[in-house]
Amino acid sequence: MPLVCRPWRLWHRATRFIIGSRKASWRRYILLAAFVVILIIIYLLIESYPRSIMSLVRNHPPESVFRCGGDGGGKVRGPTGNATFHPHLPPPRSPENKLRDDPKVLVFTETQYSKTGKDIANILVANRINYKTEVLGRSLPGLTNLSRGKYGAVIFENFDRYLQLDPWNRELLDKYLKDYSVGMVGFMPVREDTRVGTKMKGLPLYIHTNMALKNVSLNSDNPLLHLTRAGGTIVGPVLNSDWTTFTIEDPTYIPIEWAYPSLTDFSEERQNTVVLDQGQLDGIPRVLFGANLEFWLHRLLFLDALSYLSLGRIPLALDRYILVDIDDIFVARKGIRMTTDDVMALLESQRRLQEMVPGWRFNLGFSGKYYQRGYPEENDGDKMLLDHVEDFWWFGHMWGHTQPHELTQDELEIQMQLNKEFAINHDIPTDSGYSIAPHHSGVYPVHEPLYTAWKKVWNVRVTSSEEYPHLYPARLRRGFIHRNIMVLPRLTCGLFTHTVFIDKYPGGRKVLDDSIHGGELFQSIVYNPISIYMTHLSNYGNDRLALYTFESVVKFVKCWTNLKLQTVPPLQLAEQYFHRFPDEADPIWGNPCADHRHMQIWAKEKSCDQLPKFLVIGPQKTGTTALYTFLAMHPAILANYPSPETFEEVQFFNGKNYYKGIDWYMKFFPVPANSSAKFLFEKSATYFEGDVVPRRVRALLPAAKLVITIISPSKRAYSWYHHMRAHSDHTALLYSFHQVITASDTAPRAVRSLRNKCLVPGMYARHIERWLNHFPSSQINIIDGEELRSDPVYVMNDLQRFLGIQPFYNYTEHLRFDKRKGFFCQVVGEDRTKCLGRGKGRIYPSMNESDVKYLKEFYQPYNIALEKLLTKLDYPVPSWLEEDLQ
Ligand code: A3P
């Protein structure tokens, strides 16, 4: 029977199955017809269900009704709505610049875990303000360094502690504050007892505690307001009843914020809740807060206070760049996409936002595959978006919604090319230089094929991700540059693909409104000079929550701050970002296995087992090659594959190789499935003294053990010099050892460079301390290089124990002293050994006496510090160190 007849046969069999026989009764035919009708009805019901929801709820999308100084959704009203912008008036102090260039903030906290202390730290981190926290003890921390002040402002989490300081510390701190023109912020503590009109020790202030307050507003006429604008009255009760209020007894004190008691049994008079002491009485300006930083307005005033009290040396810029991406513009299931009405609303909202934020434009990321995949009215919406192509900015998302880390470079290129063709066919611009990846996959942790394909197909120069260095906490998200693609930190605004109806907002509408009116979203604009937000197609259909959210938050920002908002395209945004934060350009590669989310967007075939478990970090010329060779003899240990450029060393963490990324690094180690050795390691002897190296190693290999070898620093310097001569280094051949080590800072550059390489690694204590800032001492093993030379079996046995390596390898049988070489070598036969090459254990004349003396003196302070450090860490003091110190 031909194939075309098959459907008919199937139908025939099905009817026979239901009906039973060829001679079917008419009843059975009716039954069959009813069955088919029911199926059709079920299908139609399923199809039309989301539409009915849509048409029901779409009648009432929320509107942004917030009016500054009016009775809007933000519950703000009052006479101060027209408050004017106050640049800080110069306080009555001399801004002599005796502070260090980038002063920190000194924070005195009650304990390491106290709530306000943490809030203070979080705000400082979010605003990239350097700080030091100190739990107040008997003595104060050092306030100056080489007679320059370290701190631009001092904060007391509990102002009582300042008032209770013992006279000696109080005098010391006050003197610092006066001499360096630095002011203080103090928070009033929550008290058990209620006090009414208690005098504050030494200040012209009376306090009332345990107050319940309502209707907070700002005094628009005060010199503190810079970022903060007096936006009106916040109607209703604020926080809890823990407020302290101040009665001012001196005209040089100015109220900043005030409120009314909410319990009428106290008084109906307005109470001062934040006050400014201009410092005219004792030379120390102070800002005192009657409640902590839980109240959003206090967070703004706090930033203003720091800037004011430090005379602007803790800067507070007012420019804010903000860009809203609509990712996946055609990606959403039927029923929650955009209709033509939604598109009109989007255009209208964009126009209103443009009036408030110069340059505002929504940035649309498209996935062409999903174009026209909705109901007819939604497909009309898609078409209308393309009719208005010129009203928006556009960027190519992925063709499908696949995660890049699951694709090869070829697959990625095909996907991107399809999307590009779609763009060209629909007159969508393709030159924005921006793109993003679904679920941030491939951006960080870096999937190199994505970067390659992006560059090749779209010439991408900017992307954004919320994953660097981690999703949480959001305030720590930062940018970086990889392979000339600028990655911006991506912020969320509380809207996700599934948050489409205000009534169903997780936790209720109040959660979203609180975030807008002073909460998380509002603060993210205040704290981040450059913000790029992520939203989705579904947030613009349905209840159009994104329009509501952004219009509301922009109004709120304009009401309560003097921030100058503007929008620029992604490329300009990224340039601004790295111009402002140049230190962030350098990435710090983290360990993907330490972050559950990173593991989900890391290619399946990758594994952290392909990363080393320990590193031999140097320094050079202390026996590191011997150690490397001896380690590699162990059956359970495997060294990295050699590098064509740097031979046995990978030199990843210290130089340009680091920018090649961790995929590059991992290629130096076998895939775990292909190797039985459990302990991978690498030796790069220049890691030891590299400034950035400990931080980088800690980020990628937090559990790694580190092995350091040290010999007399003078001997090391001399060995290095001869190493350079043996490699025909021009400068080493031209200048004597004496000339090199005694070269001054005016000597030719090449000589200075050689001098530094000779001398700097031998400042052992300084470098070890730096490693100890990032690793616990239990992860570091310091080997006496002289002992490695004279008794390698002992050293290797000890090292095996430190590394916890099984099975134990008996080096006695595998190392033998070779008289000809003058060193221990690997046993390769009964009478045969394999020694290190000619470059190790070189023969050269001994150092002359004057150089020995010079170096002994040069290294003395470093050697004293080393001796102390080794003793502290429980190591025996090597005999060469004792000699050097004689
Ligand atoms: P010299 O060549 O100046 O004698 P590195 O491998 O870190 O560059 O260190 C080289 C130094 O290792 C050599 O310096 C040598 O003194 C020392 N060394 C220690 N044990 C050795 C061994 N078994 N074979 C060769 N050199 C060894």
Please determine, for residue 597, whether its predicted confidence score (pLDDT) is greater than 80. yes
Lowest mean pLDDT among 72-86, 117-131, 378-392, 592-606: 72-86
Can you give the pLDDT at residue 212? 92
Please determine, for residue 75, whether its predicted confidence score (pLDDT) is greater than 60. no
Pocket test for ligand 1, best of 827, 840, 842 (most atoms within 8 A of CB): 840
Q: Is 175 helix (H, G, I), strand (E, B) or coil?
A: helix
Can you give the pLDDT at residue 17? 57
For atom 16 of ligand 1, which residue has the closest CA? 841
736 C-alpha vs ligand 1 centroid, how far in Å? Answer: 22
For atom 8 of ligand 1, which residue has the closest CA? 621
pLDDT confidence band for 14 (50 / 70 / 90): low
Please determine, for residue 474, whether its predicted confidence score (pLDDT) is greater than 70. yes
Identify whether 383 is a catalytic site residue.
no
What pLDDT, in 10s, does the model give residues 497-513?
999 999 999 999 999 99
State the binding site: 719, 840-844
pLDDT confidence band for 672 (50 / 70 / 90): confident
What is the DSSP code string of 327-392?
ESTT-S-TTSS--HHHHHHHHHHHHHHHHHSTT---EEEE-GGGTT-S-HHHHHHHHHHHHTGGGS
Q: What's the chain's length in residues?
A: 886
850 C-alpha vs ligand 1 centroid, how far in Å? Answer: 24
Give the mean pLDDT of 814-838: 96
State the binding site for 3'-phosphoadenylyl sulfate: 719, 840-844
Ligand 1 closest atom vs CA 623? 12
CA distances from 291 to 188, 310, 514 (A): 6, 22, 19
Can you give the pLDDT at residue 667? 95
According to the 3-state scheme, what is the secondary structure of 489-512?
A: EEEECCCCCCCCCHHHCCCCHHHH
Please determine, for residue 89, whether its predicted confidence score (pLDDT) is greater than 80. no
For atom 14 of ligand 1, which residue has the closest CA? 841
What pLDDT, in 10s, does the model give residues 543-580?
999 999 999 999 999 999 999 999 999 999 999 999 99
785 C-alpha vs ligand 1 centroid, how far in Å? Answer: 9
719 C-alpha vs ligand 1 centroid, how far in Å? Answer: 9
Q: Return the axis-axis angle of helices 713-726 and 849-872, rounded to nearest 10°.
A: 120
Q: Quote the CA–CA distance of 193 and 730 in Å, as a whole number.
A: 78
Can you give the pLDDT at residue 195? 82
What pLDDT, in 10s, does the model give residues 783-802?
999 999 999 999 999 999 99
pLDDT confidence band for 71 (50 / 70 / 90): very low
Pocket test for ligand 1, best of 621, 630, 688, 820 (most atoms within 8 A of CB): 621
Lowest mean pLDDT among 129-138, 236-245, 774-783, 844-853: 236-245
Alpha helix stretches (DSSP H) within 682-791 = 693-700, 713-726, 730-734, 737-741, 749-759, 764-772, 785-790
* Percent with pLDDT over 90 in the chain: 82
759 C-alpha vs ligand 1 centroid, how far in Å? Answer: 18
Ligand 1 closest atom vs CA 722? 3
Can you give the pLDDT at residue 138? 83
Give the mean pLDDT of 387-393: 98
pLDDT confidence band for 582 (50 / 70 / 90): very high
Which of 720, 706, 525 lies closest to 614, judged by CA? 706
Q: Which of 621, 683, 705, 715 is catalytic?
A: 621
Spacing of C-alpha 325 from chain mean position: 20
685 C-alpha vs ligand 1 centroid, how far in Å? Answer: 13
Pocket test for ligand 1, best of 617, 622, 625 (most atoms within 8 A of CB): 625
What pLDDT, in 10s, does the model give residues 693-725?
999 999 999 999 999 999 999 999 999 999 999
Please determine, for residue 418, whether its predicted confidence score (pLDDT) is greater than 90. yes
Ligand 1 closest atom vs CA 685? 7
Lowest mean pLDDT among 388-392, 396-400, 660-664, 756-760: 396-400
Can you give the pLDDT at residue 46? 60
Ligand 1 closest atom vs CA 715? 3
791 C-alpha vs ligand 1 centroid, how far in Å? Answer: 13
Q: What is the pTM of this model?
A: 0.89
Between CA 873 and CA 881, with CA 879 as vertex, the angle to 5 degrees is 65
What pLDDT, in 10s, does the model give residues 179-205?
999 999 999 998 888 888 999 999 999
For atom 6 of ligand 1, which residue has the closest CA? 625
pLDDT confidence band for 239 (50 / 70 / 90): confident
For atom 17 of ligand 1, which residue has the closest CA? 623
Can you give the pLDDT at residue 312? 92
Ligand 1 pocket: which residues have CB below 6 Å?
620-626, 685, 719, 788-789, 823-824, 836, 840-842
The answer to whether 809 and 634 are in contact (CB under 8 A) is yes
99 C-alpha vs ligand 1 centroid, how far in Å? Answer: 48
For atom 2 of ligand 1, which residue has the closest CA? 841
What pLDDT, in 10s, does the model give residues 284-314?
999 999 999 999 999 999 999 999 999 999 9
**In terms of pLDDT, which residue wins out, 38 or 543?**
543
pLDDT confidence band for 12 (50 / 70 / 90): low
Assigned token pair, 422 = 């779609």
For atom 18 of ligand 1, which residue has the closest CA? 623
For atom 4 of ligand 1, which residue has the closest CA? 841
Can you give the pLDDT at residue 77? 42
The answer to whether 439 and 450 are in contact (CB under 8 A) is no
For atom 3 of ligand 1, which residue has the closest CA? 719
**In terms of pLDDT, which residue wins out, 574 or 89?**
574
Can you give the pLDDT at residue 52? 46
The answer to whether 679 and 597 are in contact (CB under 8 A) is no
Ligand 1 closest atom vs CA 624? 7
823 C-alpha vs ligand 1 centroid, how far in Å? Answer: 9
Identity of residue 492: T
What is the DSSP code string of 837-868?
-TTSS---PPPPHHHHHHHHHHHHHHHHHHHH
Identity of residue 847: M
Mean pLDDT taken over the chain: 91
